[in-house]
A and B are shown apart, each in its own frame.
Chain A
Amino acid sequence: DTAVSQTPKYLVTQMGNDKSIKCEQNLGHDTMYWYKQDSKKFLKIMFSYNNKELIINETVPNRFSPKSPDKAHLNLHINSLELGDSAVYFCASSQSRGRNTEAFFGQGTRLTVV
């Protein structure tokens, strides 16, 4: 009964390809996030979705696009992959509507672009 699950866990692909990473949460949370952990181990927010609306979009290339078909899912699409996109991507969710609470993370997707 994984609370936040993301697939695949590992993804190896060539430069220029388009790929997607899926994320699902069964916690009934209203907000979902995508984080990128780069080679320096820094966890940086990429996107967050609250009730199917994008509320944060940091300085992320427009090759990255989040898609949320419903409140329980937030998928990450990446077009024209580049070597620098290699990283571990974490999905997370929280119940954040106006109150402080923790975020729950998936196990991560290690993306390697060759």
Chain B
Amino acid sequence: DQQVKQNSPSLSVQEGRISILNCDYTNSMFDYFLWYKKYPAEGPTFLISISSIKDKNEDGRFTVFLNKSAKHLSLHIVPSQPGDSAVYFCAASALGNQFYFGTGTSLTVIP
């Protein structure tokens, strides 16, 4: 039973434009949300996170938005660069316990 869902398996965006990756969750106990980036043949690497007490966290070109009432979060990348092409995983945890991951969205940034 998946508690974290990423309904878009893939996304293509032109270089310089905004990439928006979406994630939905079902467990209202989740209080910490993360985005990971994964290149082929490598492990996921941490990108950005947000606590449930916030609705926005920004780090350079990356911004994560959290809508608790909708149980939805999104990752915005602007401007998108070809090096951003990777699989992006959304993850969530409750009280520092295990991380639940979505199935990932493969982002392709077209030069």
Residues in chain A within 8 A of chain B (CB atoms): 4, 33, 35, 40-45, 48, 55-56, 90, 92, 94, 96-108
Contacts and interface: CB of A to CB of B under 8 A. Distances in A.
Interface in B21-48: 31-32, 34, 36, 41-46
A45 B31 contact: no
A102 B34 contact: yes
Given A41-B87, A97-B96, A98-B95, A103 B101 contact: no
A40 B99 contact: no
B93 A104 contact: no
7 contacts: A33-B99, A41-B104, A55-B97, A92-B99, A100-B31, A102-B34, A102-B49
Kindly list the 4 A-B residue pairs having the minimum CB-CB distance in the complex, ordered from nearest.
Answer: A105-B43, A100-B32, A43-B101, A102-B46
Contact of A90 (B44, B95, B100): B44
Nearest to B93: A100
Contacts of B99: 33, 45, 92, 94, 103
A56 B2 CA distance: 17
B43 A33 contact: no
Contacts of A41: 87, 103-104
B98 interface: yes
A98 B96 CA distance: 5
Contact of A107 (B43, B89, B93): B43
B51 interface: yes
A105 B49 CA distance: 16
A101 B96 contact: yes
B87, B93, B97 — most chain A CB neighbours (10 Å) = B97
B97 A108 contact: no
Contacts of A33: 98-99
Contact of B46 (A45, A48, A56, A104): A104
Contacts of A43: 44, 89, 101, 103-104
A22 to B, nearest CB: 15
Nearest to B49: A102
